[in-house]
Structure 1
Amino acid sequence: MNLIEAIAAEGKKTANKIRIIVGIIVFLVVVSAAPNNPAIVNIIYLITIAIFAIISIINLKTVSSLIYSKVIKYGTALFEISIPTILKLSHLATAKPHLMINEGAAFPAYFLFILLTLFQNDRSLTILAGVVATIEYSILVIIGIFVFHIPIISGSSEWGHIVIDDEVGKIVMLIGFTAISVAVLRNLQQFAFTALDNEKNALTKADQLKEIVDEAKTVNTSLIDVSRNQTEISAVLSDVANDEATMSEELSSMYEEQVSAIELIYKNTIKQTDETKLMKDRIHEFIEIQKNVITVGEQMLNNIVTITEYSKKTEASLNELSHIMDIVTQSGGAINSFLEVIRNITDQINLLSLNASIEAARAGEYGRGFAVVADEIGKLAMATSDNAKEISSQLARINQDINSSISIMQNTQKALNDMIAIISASKSNINEVRNAIGNQQKAIEDVKRQSDILDSLSQEILMAINEQQSSMNESVSSIQKLSEVAQIVADRTMQMNELTIQINTIAQKLAEVTAVMAN
């Protein structure tokens, strides 16, 4: 059922309610006026009211069913519009036929029953009711004048006469009221059709809006998932950065005594300044190109690629540093073995010195010089033993520091492995990102060329360092790389955290908008 049909159905129900109310009011009026009316008039009134009541009940029972038809609708309207005529005709049975015209209580009923047709939403029915009312009342006037010869006057009213200009005015009022009712009904129907079109448009827009809300909810869910993944990656990266920073501090404290050996590196680093500036310029060009190509999502993928590469470099550096630690540990073990031999020799020397002192005492005056020599040898052996113990203690502390560093490196390597495992899930999109930045290959090649020059200078620096300092310099280089990686990881983590905050903010706003639109 569309809007117009619903309005028509409600109008029929309202019309039935009005019929019932009008029937009750007319019945009460007839009953109250019955003592003053002739019996024939009262009988006609009651019969008319009874028929009206039956018709009202039929309409009330059939209006919502398929039984209701045009016959019932038009028959009801024709009978209703004839009720005032029937009531007026009842005065012909009395000695006062002029009341058929002059009795004015029934005339407004014509207007009431014409109004009732408006609730049927049928202009033809309204026109028919108005025409029938006009014709019937005109016939009443003609019957009064030409059949019963009721006198005609004009102007002021007089008992027993028909005021012709008043009757013509009433007929004109019926015609005008019918025309106005038809115009009102036409406007109402046009309004209903317009409302129906608006309803259809509103429903269409509501469906479109629902689709948009559903799509927004899906996007919001995806944003929340991406934000959650970024949060997990940021947490792992933060742990890795902290572990790398801790390890760098530990290793730096171990190799502070070897800083003097790196002075040569500083001299060669000066030679690298110009090339480094060129490299920075190229990198700046590379970054500017990236800003025009990479979107927020591609920036995140680029960060993942960068972190992955540095993580692999860090892992290689950790392996290299671990190998160096193993060499140092093995050297410490060899030194401990050597110190053990020294301690055994010093014990034997002490024993020989004691025996020599005993023999010198037996020799008396002749063995005094030999006793002095034996005593000095014993002191020398004692000092050697003390030095060996001190060296052994220092080696134990060094081994303890090395073991602590190895433990830190193992923890860092485990954290790196966890980070790589999480990042590997996002590597499927790296090739697409690389294709999107294909036009940046020239800048990348320039950066690579500058990197090769820096590598060549680094080789010259490493060749300038003597063989004894090579292992320590490699460790320092690894520490520097770890520090750089830790800083890069920290910077990337901050960027990812900022992106995560932005995504969370967008997701919250989107969720609020979709909630408002859904309601």
Structure 2
Amino acid sequence: MEKVRNLSLKYKVSMIVIIMVVLIFAGVTYFSLNILKTNLSNDLKSELLSVGTLTSMQVNPDQVGKLLSKNGEGNPDFTSLQKQLDQIQKDQGVMSWSYIWTLKDDQVTTQAYTSNLNDIYKPGALFADLAPIHLDAAKKVYSTGKSEVTDIFKDPFGTWRTVFSPIKQDGKVIAVIGIDYSADYINQLSSQARNQQLLITIIGLIIIALVIYAAINKILKPLKSIVNVSNRIAEGDLSSNPLSYDSNDEIGQLNTAVVKMQHSLRTLILNIQDSSEHVATSSQQLTASSQETESYSVKVNSDMTEIAEKTLMNSKITEETVTVLEETAIGIQRIAESTSTASEESEQMAASAQNGYDSLDRLQNQMHNITESVTRIADVIQVLNSQISEINEMTNLITDVAEQTNLLSLNASIEAARAGEHGRGFAVVATEIRKLAERTGRSANTIAEHLGSITQSTTQSQIIAQEGQGEVHKGLELMKEAAQSFNQILESTKNVSMQMQEISASSQQISASSEEVTASMTELRNVSGEIAKSSDQVSSASELQLQFIQEVAQATESLSHTSQSLQELIQQFKV
């Protein structure tokens, strides 16, 4: 970490920019490889579909159809198909092997295959050692009639990617031909494409890194000259010639600032040199005057300290007397205020009790009104229940009429049917009457259901009204008891208010007398305090003056030494 901190600016900037470029290239390369992998997979899938389709077109479906009925190693159709598949494998070059299957009830029967599968397959025999993805793809070709490519999968014989194509006879799929490609071949294609992409990326990064380093080196080259000049200024050499840099970028602005700083420092050093000589002369004169003033101030300070001590003692005695009287006056005043406040609050409490009593009386009247309203509501609900019962009876009557009408319309329809062609119009009318009767019956049933719900609600409302009437009676009894309690509180509050008024008047008279005594002692305390304060201020002023004179003497001596040191430092600069 320390080595990185000590690197030059061009290396630091180059490292940062190159790291950013590498990260950007890494991200772009990552996404490019993913896109390349996807495109390669899609291209390979398209190629496999084309190979599968072309291969299935070269197979004679009639020969395959004959193998379905009779198959075996000595079958001439099997031998012919195997030679044809071997030739297709030889011409294609990269396929591992091919085979022809038939499927029935998820069972695979091998009908033909390339000769390199003779140790694995038997013609016309079932084969069960299959990967699920392998079997699912073959079944999908059977169901859709289109070629299908699997993803890369693994089975007991290796890792593969397979294309299945249908073999059709008279438009019907009678078998599928499968072509297996080794995953090593597919991975080899992906690896070659990935390596090419990585090689291009690395070469691009190297070229861009070299270009970035060269550009940054050229841009930051003037900084080295500026650093050299700054180091000479730091060592005290202000006589170097200004730098020339035409650009107005940040480096140019830095160069201009360094030139201005060099000129300002040269002017400042010359001014300080003149001023330090003048300060050295003045400080010597000031030192002599301050020593003479210090001797007079010591004597004045001693006299004022003695006067201040005697005045302060007298002021403390007066202060203690006034404090006792003030505390007594405050206590009496608080008693007067408390009794006055208590008197006012007792009057307010009496008024509040009277208002509460009046409110309870009005509330009691209102509760009587609520009782009468609840009773009327219960009566109205009872009348409503009676009316609902009558409506329910009418609804039952409508339902019965609708059912009878429905039966009559049904009989009319039967009679119209017997009448044949002459009763057709009458049958239509009877049908419409029956539909109307059915709708009337359904509407009457709906009304009856709603009336039942309303009856339940009114019954519950009547019960609630009766309960509310009982609660109102209980509330009336409680309010009567509360009115009696409020009446007792009102009488007690009036008695307390009268007693507090008498106490408040007495406390105010005592407070007025105490305030007169306190005012006299306060005036005496103020006079004593002013005398003590004046003496103390004079004493403090004399002490401060003495300290100030001593500090001035020390400062003038220090100033003399400083001016000498300053002249020695200025001589180190070359202007």
TM-score interval, smaller chain: under 0.3
* Structure holding more helix per residue: 1
- State TM-score, norm by structure 1: 0.26
Task: Name which structure has the greater RCO, CA cutoff 8 Å, separation 6+.
Answer: 1
- State TM-score, norm by structure 2: 0.23
* Structure holding more strand per residue: 2
